[in-house]
Structure 1
């Protein structure tokens, strides 16, 4: 599970700086068919964040992020704390 979360984090962290920004979160959410307002994205980050405006890997893990396999073999990502 920890390895899967790391891989998902890497996909969200497009620029590879070790933190997920609001724009990176918005891009990945949009690609998953979850168009989300800037305000909603900021709220998600604020609930998981330590105050620097981004989500680090430990915050991502601690933020209630879960991965479940779907019937077609894909992954369903759920960030429970931020939603």
Structure 2
């Protein structure tokens, strides 16, 4: 990712728990180069809620339901982006 992310890019990271080390490393890298960072997580948000500039937390303790809501949000976001 370090070879691709640049200042001003938008980086969206998903982590059901908010504590996945690979996702946290990616968001830290994106923040360090001045990218806009968005996190989608569940449970209590984990560490991702504090690292992402914008974080959508699904306040639920069931991973399957969290993933379903993330999928719905992803479809909604992509539909909106198609109209831009």
Q: Which has the higher strand share?
A: 2
Pairwise same-fold verdict (TM > 0.5):
no
Higher alpha-carbon Rg: 2
Give the TM interval when normalised to the shorter protein: under 0.3
Q: TM-score, normalised by structure 1?
A: 0.25
